[in-house]
């Protein structure tokens, strides 16, 4: 790309050296730089890109964007100094990839719980009605039904996001369903993306180690909605959960058309006459266009909210009849690791769920209680080096179960005993055990169980690894549960 065109929107404080005529790529990782690249220095929580300029130039960078002067041979690369490289990288990424979001209908879904499920349902509703789609979030990057990459974060960095949208547009995609995390919003990973529909699921205790308070957490989440009117080139719509305690907070800060959904409060899209079964949920959908009978394979009240959010989001933007959307809902698959029932031996009912907040765990347990015939056993853990205040609340939520195994999701650098002690402090009864090793915890749950017991393994969903210190160690709850079940009950 022409360098002058690329940097034309930057607020440049100083330029040292002659600009190269063209730039072949942009990177904030010095190891990923190649010939004729632009390297931008980002100061992260643990690493400062300004310290890796020499490596970037050695690997072929011909233009460096930084917040301060660095040791640089300007015969090899030009130095551009800007006030804020985090804002600069968003501008550069959008310009380099030719603002792909301007030509896409993008559904952004945010909230504490439900983001993955709602985006998955939106994606299914669109593809089932013959629209070309991309899905971006916790489970990676998917175009139509082809998976292109996995993801380490709910919301990727700003360069990756723009590149994914660029690739999607080039492959004929017209619609994108995208998870939007609070970290992504706070860190500017979504700057430069023009959202069409913003959907709010719910807000409950999470990430307070990062945000400090629920008020700050909400203020970060609401950025997705308050910024909808910045780009007036599209009709923008906000879809809000009328039953959530933070509804009015989001409503007052949303400058575009609002559509509501819910169960208990009057809403534009409302579920009533809900019936829960072992393998499905049914309800009557009340809408401005009349009432419709809905059947879904997804379990629990929280999934009724997820279905409502997805239907409302798609209907208010697309010209798809509600009868077609309701029909498509019947075929919506259960997202992997979201109340996923395993086909296991031993006549045990084993569920894998990503629930890692007190609210999500409570909802997951409540969705299973109506079908409890014998014992309910819950495996629950939390991560190291993260919000400690959430730990006793998770154990308290798990105490509804007959037997609880307290364990660890991702210990990182923290002493596992400290994590388990914090969890123990929240237990409301003594029918529990603590097992640091998550695989052993899963095995203990299955070994302790009897026929017709329900086992809920919560906290990691489909994640394929544990983070132990700085390493990712292979681990998958579902795989381990099936291995243990087959080993313990080989002939049942």
The domain ranges of the chain are 3-96, 100-330, 340-488
Kindly state the average pLDDT of the residues 308-334: 96
Query: What sign results for the dihedral spanned by CA atoms 139, 143, 149, 153?
Result: negative
Q: Mark the binding-site residues for ATP, compressed into ranges.
A: 111-117
> pLDDT band for position 187 (50/70/90)?
confident
Kindly state the average pLDDT of the residues 70-92: 95
Q: Mark the binding-site residues, compressed into ranges.
A: 30, 111-117, 154-155, 181, 187, 189
Poorest-confidence range of 136-140, 185-189, 205-209, 328-332?
A: 205-209
Q: Give residues with Cβ within 8 angstroms of 116, minimum separation 6.
A: 137, 138, 139, 179, 335, 338, 354
The pLDDT score that the predictor gives to residue 184 is 85
> pLDDT band for position 37 (50/70/90)?
very high
Tokens representing 18? 């002659």
Element at 407 (helix H, strand E): strand 403-408
pLDDT at 44 over 90: no
Q: Are 359 and 466 in contact (CB under 8 A)?
A: no
- pTM (global) more than 0.85: yes
Architecture of domain 3-96 in this structure: 3-Layer(aba) Sandwich (3.40)
Poorest-confidence range of 138-152, 196-210, 282-296?
A: 138-152
User: 45: which DSSP letter?
Assistant: S
pLDDT at 206 over 80: no
Top pLDDT among 345 and 133 is at: 133
> pLDDT band for position 186 (50/70/90)?
confident
Cα separation values, 112 from 117, 214, 248, 438, Å: 12, 11, 17, 24
The pLDDT score that the predictor gives to residue 490 is 86
The pLDDT score that the predictor gives to residue 151 is 61
pLDDT at 297 over 60: yes
Q: Are 186 and 180 in contact (CB under 8 A)?
A: no
Element at 350 (helix H, strand E): strand 349-353
Cα separation values, 415 from 1, 411, 418, Å: 49, 7, 6
pLDDT at 207 over 70: no
The pLDDT score that the predictor gives to residue 71 is 92
Does 3.90.190.20 match the CATH number of domain 340-488?
A: yes
- How is domain 100-330 classified at the CATH fold level? 3.40.1190
> pLDDT band for position 150 (50/70/90)?
low
Kindly state the average pLDDT of the residues 132-157: 81
Kindly state the average pLDDT of the residues 333-341: 91
Q: Is 20 exposed, middle or buried (0-12, 13-18, 19+ CB in 10 A)?
A: middle
């Amino acid at each position: 790309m022409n360098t002058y065109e690329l940097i034309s929107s930057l607020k440049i404080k100083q330029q040292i050296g002659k600009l190269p005529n063209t730039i072949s790529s942009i990177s904030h990782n010095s190891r990923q730089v190649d010939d004729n690249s632009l390297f931008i220095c980002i100061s992260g929580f643990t690493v400062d890109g300004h310290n890796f300029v020499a490596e970037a130039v050695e690997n072929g960078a011909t233009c460096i964007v930084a917040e301060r002067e660095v040791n640089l041979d300007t015969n090899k690369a030009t130095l551009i100094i800007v006030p804020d490289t985090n804002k600069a990288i968003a501008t550069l990424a959008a310009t380099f990839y030719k603002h792909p979001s301007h030509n896409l209908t993008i559904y952004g879904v945010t909230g504490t719980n439900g983001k993955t499920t709602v985006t998955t349902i939106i994606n299914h509703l669109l593809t089932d009605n013959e629209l070309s789609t991309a899905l971006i979030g916790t489970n990676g990057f998917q175009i139509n039904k082809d998976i292109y990459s996995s993801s380490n974060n709910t919301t990727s960095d700003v360069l990756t996001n723009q590149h994914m949208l660029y690739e999607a547009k080039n492959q004929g995609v017209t619609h994108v369903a995208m998870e939007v995390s609070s970290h992504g919003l706070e860190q500017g990973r979504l700057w430069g993306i023009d959202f069409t529909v913003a959907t709010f699921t719910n807000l409950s205790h999470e990430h307070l180690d990062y945000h400090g308070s629920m008020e700050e957490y909400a203020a970060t989440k609401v950025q997705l909605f308050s910024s909808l009117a910045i780009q007036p080139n599209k009709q923008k719509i906000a879809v809000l959960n009328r039953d959530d305690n933070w509804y009015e907070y989001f409503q007052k800060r949303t400058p575009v058309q609002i559509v509501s959904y819910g169960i208990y409060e009057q809403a534009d899209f409302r579920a009533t006459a809900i019936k829960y079964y072992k393998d499905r949920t049914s309800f009557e959908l009340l809408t401005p266009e009349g009432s419709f009978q809905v059947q879904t394979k997804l379990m629990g009240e929280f999934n009724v909210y997820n279905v409502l959010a997805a239907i409302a989001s798609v209907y208010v933007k697309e010209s798809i009849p509600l009868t077609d959307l309701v029909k498509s809902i019947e075929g919506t698959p259960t997202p992997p690791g979201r109340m996923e029932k395993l086909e296991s031996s031993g006549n045990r009912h084993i569920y894998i769920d990503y629930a890692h907040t007190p609210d999500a765990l409570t909802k997951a347990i409540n969705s299973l209680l109506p079908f409890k015939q014998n014992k309910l056993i819950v495996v629950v853990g939390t991560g190291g080096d993260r919000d400690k205040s959430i730990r006793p609340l998770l154990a308290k939520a798990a105490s509804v179960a007959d037997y609880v195994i307290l364990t660890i999701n991702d210990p990182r650098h923290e002493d596992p005993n400290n994590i388990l002690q914090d969890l123990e402090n929240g237990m409301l009864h003594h029918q529990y055990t603590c097992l640091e090793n998550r695989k052993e915890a899963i095995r203990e749950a299955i070994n302790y169980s009897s026929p017709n017991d329900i086992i809920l393994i919560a906290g990691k969903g489909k994640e394929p690894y544990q983070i132990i210190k700085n390493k990712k160690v292979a681990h998958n709850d579902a795989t381990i549960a099936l291995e243990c079940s087959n080993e313990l009950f080989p002939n049942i």
